[in-house]
């Protein structure tokens, strides 16, 4: 009977560890998906700001100001 109790305890510990690892993997997957979505949004916002900056037009204005 002593070995049965030992086996039950070891089995419970192994089961709890495997459950914890599975949950950590699931949470990591969710966090990775959220980070990917967030990076897409940030890249889109950055692209809009660069387009709105009109760098070539502003550069030409400054050149005309300096030249004239």
Which domain covers residue 47, as residue numbers?
2-67
Q: How far is CA 34 from the centre of its chain?
A: 5
Helices of type H across 1-68: 2-53, 55-67
Residues 6 or more apart whose CB falls under 8 angstroms from that of 27 comprise: none
- Tell me the whole-structure pTM to 2 decimals: 0.55
Q: How many domains are contained in the chain?
A: 1
Residue 53: pLDDT band (50, 70, 90) is confident
1-50 pLDDT, tens digit each: 778 999 999 999 999 999 999 999 999 999 999 999 999 999 999 989 88
Q: Is the pLDDT of residue 66 over 90?
A: no
Distance CA 48, CA 18 (A): 45
Q: Is the pLDDT of residue 54 over 80?
A: no
């Amino acid at each position: 009977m002593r070995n049965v109790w030992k086996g039950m305890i070891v089995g419970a510990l192994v089961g709890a560890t495997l459950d914890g690892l599975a949950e950590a993997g699931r949470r990591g997957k969710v966090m990775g998906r959220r980070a990917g979505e967030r990076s897409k949004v940030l890249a889109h916002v950055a692209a809009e700001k660069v387009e709105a900056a009109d760098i070539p037009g502003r550069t030409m204005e400054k050149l005309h100001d300096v030249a004239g």
